[in-house]
Structure 1
Amino acid sequence: MLQTVIAAVREVASGAEVGEDTPLIARRIIDSLALLSLVELLEKQLSVTIRDSDILPTHFETPLAIRAFLKSKGC
């Protein structure tokens, strides 16, 4: 799943160099609009529902944080 998350981040961030522990928000790799695109893409790819209340900076800090969040959602 980690590779899926990294690929999704690269897709919404125009191919940015992203590793598993890259700080996505702190390095401004994803902004608020890219975050919404990322959520939509992950929902489609992983058949998961991400509620607005789930969209917290801590859940999307790094690809590893995203993977942990998605695992908590049952993915």
Structure 2
Amino acid sequence: MTQDTVLESVVAAVREVAPGAQVSEDTRLIAERIIDSLSLLSLVALLEKEFPVTIRDAEVLPANFESPTAIRAFLKTKGC
């Protein structure tokens, strides 16, 4: 999977947990209140289904989920 494909999948996952939100690769998800704690947990579950990763509780940090680009960078550290 290329990094562009990963980013597209991340944006699609964010749109799924935040229907109707205008989301681009640099959208500040937490600061703009597009995702909250509940939708963040849903997003983690979707990412774990989409990619061959396990996201530990300690990794669910604002810095890792700040934007779709940040999520892509985080997933890259997990081998995606």
Q: Same fold (TM over 0.5)?
A: yes
Partner of 1:66: 71
Partner of 1:51: 56
Q: 1:32 aligns with which of 32, 37, 40?
A: 37
Number of residue equivalences? 75
The alignment's TM-score, normalised by the length of structure 2, stands at: 0.91
Q: Which runs of 4+ in 1 moved over 2 A?
A: none
RMSD of equivalent CA atoms: 0.6
Q: Which amino acid aligns with 2:28?
A: P
Between the aligned residues of both structures, percent identity stands at: 71
The alignment's TM-score, normalised by the length of structure 1, stands at: 0.97
